[in-house]
Amino acid sequence: MSGVPFTTPASVLTVMAHPDDAELWAGGTLARCSASGAAVTIAVPHHTEPGRDTEATAGATILGATLHQYDQPTVTTLRELLLAVRPEVVITHPLRDVHPDHRAVADTLVAALPDVVIDTGHPYRVYTADSYNSLTLDGPIPAHTIIDITDTYEQKQRALAAHASQPITDHFGPMAETLARLWGSRIGVNHAENFVPLPILGRLPAARTI
């Protein structure tokens, strides 16, 4: 399997459950998009733990992204976000992610999408990202859209390290390294991230590219 051609989208929105999720599951790809001129937005709920929102700002800045924080991931909140940003591409968690917070955000996003797509035509493409050890409640995440992040991997790790309150050094950092090397080995590069398309109103993206 080879990596997919990388065509920079005009805009990318990630909708994740926790302040470090975008960095962990899609950080290299977001950094690559930003470096290529895309407008990148990371959307996560405000966090109750002290310092987490500040860490989220720092991580987004390292990736070249704009941080958008909101109170609760309701259908109305995410619909308003989609209408405001009108992204070409959206990235979220797997619908059957092993983490309940991840599943809740992904389900809410999917519920908000149809009306927005009908009204605006955006987003064009929606993808789910990786998960813990590439596993969902239904089994392994399938290889699909594998993006070479070799050139932005160090940037991804710096963005992760900005979340100093979390177990980055002992847990998330090493897991990110393992996953990036495993996906990279699929396409013959040092580091990569994998994404799986979600159908929008019954349609999957025709292009195998972010």
pLDDT in tens, 106-135: 999 999 999 999 999 999 999 999 999 999
Domains of the chain: 11-198 (3.40.50.10320)
In the prediction, which pLDDT does 207 show? 62
Q: What is the mean pLDDT of residues 148-171?
A: 96
127, 105, 114: which is closest to 45 by C-alpha?
105
Q: What is the mean pLDDT of residues 156-185?
A: 96
201 falls in which pLDDT band (50, 70, 90)? Answer: confident
Whole-structure pTM value: 0.95
Whether 90 and 123 have beta carbons less than 8 Å apart is answered as yes
In the prediction, which pLDDT does 2 show? 53
Nearest-10 crossing angle of helices 21-35, 173-187: 50
Alpha carbon distance 135, 97 (integer Å) = 7
In the prediction, which pLDDT does 6 show? 67
pLDDT higher at 4 or 96: 96
**Position 25 pLDDT exceeds 60:** yes
Write out pLDDT tens, residues 78-94: 999 999 999 999 999 99
